[in-house]
A and B are shown apart, each in its own frame.
Chain A
């Protein structure tokens, strides 16, 4: 069935509403194509909406405009060379993509990650979560007409990217998380700057609340729009802030702790009815929780190695190459072929900024994965989008896309 046939079939199933239209209006359905190039779709998402007047009766999201074949490319690369490729899937959650993939490979290898590496991972993951939510906040507020919010949130994003650049040398797609740990220890002065940022961030988050939550226009546009109850969200497999906004306290950091998340004291923000306002509030509250986690992780940062001492997996330190023949051999084997992973399958889910981000890896005993698949939360969450916007106004559709926070790089991969 072609795309248009499928759409026509869906469109025919939509019936006009029972109540008669008001005077001067015609009673007919209109098909409106939004995207793939539309500034409010947060990427190259295409939405085919069937409208009756201003009411959205049905919507069909069409994806695939940034399909990059990342999963297929990953099958052709050695395990540690897959990391930069999977990082580019959900391009606002690069630490999370790398973490999910490395976690799956570590499960297959059965290696222990040193505690310092786990804490360093947590610090960077939470900084990344703040960064991702900042981009969401800026662009969403822009869609809702609060243009100046973009400048404020991108100012703080630059501060986070400075920290990333300090620890890894890159702003985006840092490839900091490595199989067995992290690629490098944090530089001197990094901890102080992160602490300073956390203090700053709490203050800034207060300011965002002052700017937005006192804003009548924003509240009117968010309250009671795009409402879906939790049973339907659970049935559709929705996770992350969208599910928590409907009142389900489901967070993999608490439900299934990984990378020492059980060492930290933090709360899971939940909403009540699951409308756009709750989604906004839940993500906003996560700014505070993430800063709390980062502060605790810096406070209790253990001493020790930052990557596993297993030389079969991790590169030997540079200075050993000049003195140790064995280190040279390990280095040569790792760089040319990579490490081999015993046959098996692993699924490693973590809590990304948008929900459950899981990586499935099947190993066949060679140095390249037989299959890499990501369960990307944006893709699953998009399934709930038609139920969110059906029966609402077309203007609320824009607000709902903004609060859905889809990242098309993650959806299409």
Chain B
């Protein structure tokens, strides 16, 4: 909080007088609060649909006149023939993504931190951000050139590897590879800024004690960014089920959909594709509920291991 405003910061109690005095502030903020309620809070109220039978015909009915089905939609979702595979895909692609993505970003950040030719470091860093700013559609279009049958990789190895046309877990790795390629430079920034906060005296002392470069990385740099790593890991575990439908759908094709389908996409497919709004919402609610649980568990484990907790 800014020190400049302490003079003004007296207790402001709600009264007609103050509302009149602050009418401009009210006029400048209330429209956005209304916007917020419509676009952010009304959809939250829509979670009630997860416990109701809602189809296009019954959507118009007032909420209390729709048929309540309890956990019926959830049971329907779990019994769905696509559910188990979708769950496996979501968790699989997520865990691989978190593991490889985190590792790659840390390694890249350490390398940038060690780079002594500063101009070259800057150029590399700038280039590494480029894919981050490019949309997933463009990335998908580019990835198809590289990984499709007869694409760049195939022609490089002079064989047909079917990287994007094999209906197996191979596609998880291809997707993770593309994702890491897109985001590694960007994700390294936060680790780099954590490294910038490490006391340079530590490195000097280590050098005097005769520590070589790898020892300095291992004993100073990595422990220095440890809290950052933990916080980011907790957050990404909390988001483990929130694998975006956009990326999955764009990098997929009907041949390999069995292994690219994830929860958000499944929710769309059932909710809007099959017009079963209740079922689609239930899948979304399930995803959020598991996400919060995972976040709390990861947070608890971090606490038990003596690390800084997020919450």
Q: Is chain B found bound to chain A in the same assembly?
A: no
A residues within 8 Å of B by Cβ?
none
B residues within 8 Å of A by Cβ?
none
